[in-house]
Amino acid sequence: MCGSHNGEDMHVEGANHILSKIGLNVSNLGCGSQAPTHKSDYVKIIRNGQEPTAIHNNCSGKHGGFLAYCVFNGLSTSDYFNLDHPLHQEIRKISAMMHEMEPEELIPGIDGCSAPIFGMPVYNQAIAYKNLMAPEKFGTAIAKACHMITEAIATYPELIAGTKRYCTDLISVTSGKVIGKTGADGVYSIGIPSKKWGVCIKIDDGKMGPQYNVAQSLLETLNLVSEEEASKLQGYLESEIRNWAGLTTGKTQVTTIVQNLNLNTTA
């Protein structure tokens, strides 16, 4: 439910399992059909005489969570992706609390998976991840839920993204010492449980990919990953740019990370 997954077999199985538990199926998903991230997974579907469906959508697990909430609370499932649905009114309230904003300050839009999504400053996205790491001030129920989320992500990092993905590799290599999650367009958020820190990175032009280079450079600069962990994640420090002929035309890399960051550990 926390993932932006690749649509690999394990992700399809997980999303289907959520739906089967609540008596629903792929036809109830409103996220739209999407081809799996990796070509090999897409080819396998085609070879089986099938086409990608909404279960392969990178947000199918999240939508399964939406539907589970609706079934549990006796809410309608046919319109669960509408902003005025009680589900998203509750999400807006909890999101505002975690981001330390007023609900009316969250700017609504429509996500790539058709669900409502809320815009907010990058600073508040970092605050939300800080609060996810240290949620006790919100009470026992919220704290329990936040700890359940971070424990699940740390235990099953392959489900938040998948093979050859920075989120999964980062969490796996650090054994959950660092929690990272990507988002469109060009966003990367990080939580450091031991320090109760939250970080958010935004690439101004929205390009997907450079946020991983910045995230890895930042983690190394702040010594938040060990030398051994950094060596295993070395491939994410820069990204090659290739043309349609497969020739390398350049690369994306971080040239400077500010060393004297003013870290407010009480914010």
- Among the candidates 91, 120, 140, a domain finishes at 91
DSSP 134: S
The residues, any chain, with a CB within 8 Å of residue 128's CB and separated by 6 or more, are 95, 98, 99, 100, 189, 198
User: What confidence score (pLDDT) does residue 179 get?
Assistant: 97
Residue 169 shares a structural domain with residue 266: yes
User: What confidence score (pLDDT) does residue 258 get?
Assistant: 60
Residue 86 shares a structural domain with residue 172: no
Residue 165 shares a structural domain with residue 84: no
Instruction: Flag whether 134 is in a domain.
Output: no
Instruction: Flag whether 69 is in a domain.
Output: yes
- Give tens-digit pLDDT for 144-193: 999 999 999 999 999 999 999 999 999 999 999 999 999 999 999 999 99
Instruction: Flag whether 128 is in a domain.
Output: no
Contact 93, 103 (CB under 8 A): yes
Q: Model pTM?
A: 0.92
- Among the candidates 43, 75, 91, a domain finishes at 91
Range of the domain at 80: 1-91
pLDDT < 70 positions in the chain:
257-267
Give dist(CA 222, CA 259) in Å, integer: 8
Q: Which of 190, 248, 253, 250 is nearest to 222 (CA)?
A: 190
Instruction: Flag whether 147 is in a domain.
Output: no
- Bridge partners (DSSP) listed for residue 188: 182, 201
How many angstroms separate the first and last alpha carbons of the chain?
28
Number of domains in the chain: 2
User: What confidence score (pLDDT) does residue 262 get?
Assistant: 56
- Among the candidates 30, 58, 91, a domain finishes at 91
